[in-house]
C-alpha cells in the first residue's frame, strides 16, 4: 500500500462510516475497482479508530454529561448505551468466521446495500405517518434494545452501522436527528472494542506500513468529524432519500459488474 492509497482509504473511511452507505462496502469496492488489492480486515477495523475519535471529539460535551449523570443516578442513558452494545458483541463473537467470509463477498455487499435501502425507505414511510416524534432526551430502554439489535445486523457487510441504527431509531419513533445522534453514541463501545481487538492481527513489518496506518487513521478522523457535522445538519432539514437512492444505484452497479465479470463475487 502506498501513502497515497492510505490517504484515499482514510477519506473513504471518514466519509462512509457515519453516512448510511456502508464503510465496509466502500473499503472493499474502491480498492477492488482501482486494482489496489484488498486491505486486511484488521487494517479496516483499526482505521475505524480515527472515526471513533471524531465521535468522541464531536460529542465530548454530551459524553461527559452522560457519564456524569449516569454516575450520579440522574440519567440511564449511559446504561442504555451499554445494554444496546450487547447484541453486536454477542453476534460478533458467535458469527466471527461467517462475518469474515462475508467481508470478502461483493455479492453480499451489493445485496445488503439494496436490502437496507428498502428498509430505510419503509422507515421513512413510517416516520411520515407517525405523530409525536421523540428527541434524544426521550429515548428509553425499548429504543436502546431495538437500536442495539439493529447494530448487530450491521455486521453484515454493506448494510451500514449508521444506516441500520438510524432505521431502528426511526422505527422506534425518534426524530431523524435523534436517531442519528443515538446511532453515533451507540457506536462508541462497539468500534472501540473491534479496533482494539483487531490490533493484534495487524502485521506491521516496517515503518512504511506503520506510517500508512497512522496517516489513514488521522485522515479518517478529520473527514469523519466533518461528515458527522454535515449529516446532523442535513437530517434536520431533509429525509434519508438521498442515501436510499445512492444505495440502490450502487448496489445495482455492483450487481451489473459482477454479472459482466468485472468484479469477483
> What is the helix (H) or strand (E) element at residue 228, kind and residue range?
helix 207-237
Q: What integer best gives the mean pLDDT of the chain? A: 86
Distances (CA, A) of 109 to 19, 36, 251, 254: 16, 19, 8, 9
* Assigned domain for 82 exists: yes
Distances (CA, A) of 244 to 157, 218, 251: 16, 29, 11
Domain total for the chain? 1
More confident residue, 190 or 133: 190
* Assigned domain for 176 exists: yes
Task: Tell me the per-residue pLDDT of 26-46, one tens digit each, with 9 for 90 and over.
Answer: 988 888 888 887 777 677 777
Residue 122 in grid coordinates: 419503509
pLDDT at residue 205 tops 70: no
Q: In which domain, by residue range, is 129 found?
A: 3-260
* Assigned domain for 265 exists: no
Residue 182, burial from CB neighbour count under 10 angstroms (0-12, 13-18, 19+): buried
Amino acid at each position: 500500500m502506498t501513502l497515497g492509497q492510505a490517504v484515499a482509504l482514510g477519506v473513504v473511511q471518514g466519509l462512509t462510516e457515519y453516512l448510511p452507505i456502508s464503510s465496509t462496502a466502500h473499503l472493499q469496492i474502491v480498492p477492488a475497482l482501482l486494482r489496489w488489492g484488498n486491505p486486511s480486515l484488521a487494517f479496516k477495523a483499526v482505521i475505524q479508530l480515527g472515526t471513533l475519535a471524531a465521535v468522541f471529539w464531536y460529542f465530548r460535551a454530551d459524553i461527559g454529561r452522560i457519564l456524569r449523570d449516569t454516575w450520579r443516578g440522574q440519567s440511564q442513558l449511559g446504561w442504555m448505551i451499554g445494554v444496546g452494545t450487547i447484541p453486536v458483541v454477542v453476534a460478533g463473537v458467535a458469527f466471527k468466521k461467517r462475518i469474515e467470509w462475508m467481508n470478502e463477498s461483493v455479492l453480499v455487499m451489493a445485496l445488503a446495500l439494496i436490502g437496507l435501502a428498502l428498509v430505510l425507505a419503509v422507515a421513512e414511510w413510517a416516520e411520515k405517518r407517525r405523530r409525536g416524534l421523540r428527541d434524544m432526551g426521550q429515548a428509553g430502554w425499548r429504543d436502546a434494545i431495538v437500536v442495539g439489535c439493529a447494530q448487530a445486523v450491521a455486521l453484515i457487510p454493506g448494510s451500514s452501522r449508521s444506516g441500520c441504527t438510524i432505521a431502528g431509531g426511526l422505527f422506534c419513533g425518534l426524530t431523524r436527528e435523534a436517531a442519528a445522534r443515538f446511532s453515533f453514541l451507540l457506536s462508541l463501545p462497539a468500534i472501540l472494542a473491534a479496533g482494539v481487538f483487531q490490533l493484534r492481527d495487524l502485521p506491521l513489518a516496517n515503518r512504511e506500513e506503520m506510517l500508512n496506518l497512522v496517516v489513514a487513521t488521522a485522515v479518517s478522523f478529520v473527514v469523519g468529524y466533518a461528515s458527522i457535522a454535515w449529516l446532523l445538519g442535513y437530517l434536520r432539514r431533509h429525509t434519508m432519500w438521498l442515501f436510499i437512492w445512492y444505495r440502490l444505484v450502487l448496489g445495482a452497479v455492483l450487481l451489473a459488474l459482477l454479472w459482466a465479470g468485472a468484479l469477483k463475487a
